[in-house]
Amino acid sequence: MFRTSQLIIGFCSPSYQRTLWKRFIGTMPSRLVAVCQMTSGPDKEKNFEVVRDLVVEAKRRNAAIAFLPEACDYLTDNKKDIVAFADTLDGNLVKQYKELAAQEKIWLSVGGIHEAVPENREKVFNSHLIINEKGEIVSVYRKLHLFDMNNKATGVRLMESDYAMKGSKIEWPVSTPVGEIGLSICYDMRFPELALCLRDMGAKILTYPSAFTYQTGAAHWDVLLRARAIESQCYVIAAAQTGTHNRKRVSWGHAMIVDPWGSVIAQCSEGTGIAIASIDLESLHRTRQNMPVENHRRTDIYPEIKPLNL
């Protein structure tokens, strides 16, 4: 059909050719994705304005889905505000995300918001939402691995478990216009077992929306994301926080998209912005066929990795 369309268009005048091409391309499903980068602060309304601008830009550039970073709702410097600012999934902020997706007719990966837990007013969930282009939540993943760092030698203390509860299950990959997406959050990327489980469950794309600290990001960000892509033979999309949030917190940034061969195919520069790439599922299948590592896994020697608590 593509070649037939080319032939028909070839007989038209140049101006009408352009019109036909726009109409033809407009009927094709977009496999473009936008990975977003921002610097969240304590002001939820201001953060949402940034989110809205990023999503509008992603839609303008024909992305089918925009990936937002962890803590895109807010970042504060104390436990009291972290818990107090949190809202439930039926609250006003999530409603705004849903309305934005519906207005722009774009899918959203809302990379990690502070979800209030009505039965526990001392802690929140770190929750990753997938919202479709109709403004409907189609999946909620709650972060399994919490980042706890209390290094007395370096003086670094970041204890996510002080204010967050662990999730209890791996969510099934979500079918989207760009492929099946497996959900994770930030520190989860250090655990390859999760990536392999999601691949075995059908994921073609792994997401790691993050607020990676500057020190660990400089050392490990690129290496970890490329490793997860190579070993799982999935695309990896990692939206990121960047820059200085407060006197206690600086994020690494470098939001990126990695293909199943481990090549970085899109990356944000400094500051707030987006990067665009196309998801090529045919290329993904070729990678898996040409190097069929799943057929070589020695489950007779070491235990088969199985998703638990589904």
Is 143 catalytic? The answer is: yes
> 246 or 307: which carries more pLDDT confidence?
246
Catalytic residue, candidates 186, 197, 234, 268: 186
Catalytic residue, candidates 143, 160, 171, 204: 143
In a domain, 289, yes or no: yes
How many CA atoms does the CB half-sphere of 228 hold within 13 Å? 33
Is 70 catalytic? The answer is: yes
Number of domains the chain is built from: 1
Catalytic residue, candidates 36, 70, 133, 234: 70
Angle, helices 92-104 vs 44-60, to 10°: value is: 20
In a domain, 95, yes or no: yes
In a domain, 14, yes or no: no
pLDDT at 150: 82
Q: How confident is the model at residue 301 (pLDDT cuts 50, 70, 90)?
A: confident
In a domain, 301, yes or no: no
In a domain, 309, yes or no: no
pLDDT at 248: 85
In this structure, what CATH number is given to the domain that contains residue 174? Answer: 3.60.110.10
Cβ distance 147 to 160 under 8 Å?
yes
Residues in the chain: 310
pLDDT of 180 above 80: yes
pLDDT at 309: 53
In a domain, 10, yes or no: no
In a domain, 105, yes or no: yes
Q: How confident is the model at residue 157 (pLDDT cuts 50, 70, 90)?
A: confident
Q: What angle is formed at CA 301 by the lines to CA 300 and CA 307, rounded to 5 degrees?
A: 70
Could you tell me which of 143, 70, 148, 147 has the C-alpha nearest to residue 113?
70
Could you tell me which of 37, 182, 170, 47 has the C-alpha nearest to residue 114?
47
**Average pLDDT over the chain, rounded to whole?**
90
Q: Distance (Å, rounded) from C-alpha 290 to C-alpha 256?
A: 25
Is 193 catalytic? The answer is: no
pLDDT at 158: 81
In a domain, 305, yes or no: no
Q: What are phi and psi of 119, to 5 degrees?
A: -85, 0
Q: What is the pLDDT of residues 6-60, one digit of tens each?
A: 333 344 455 655 554 444 334 446 799 999 999 999 999 999 999 999 999 999 9
pLDDT at 30: 72
Structural domain harbouring 128: 29-296
pTM (two decimals): 0.88
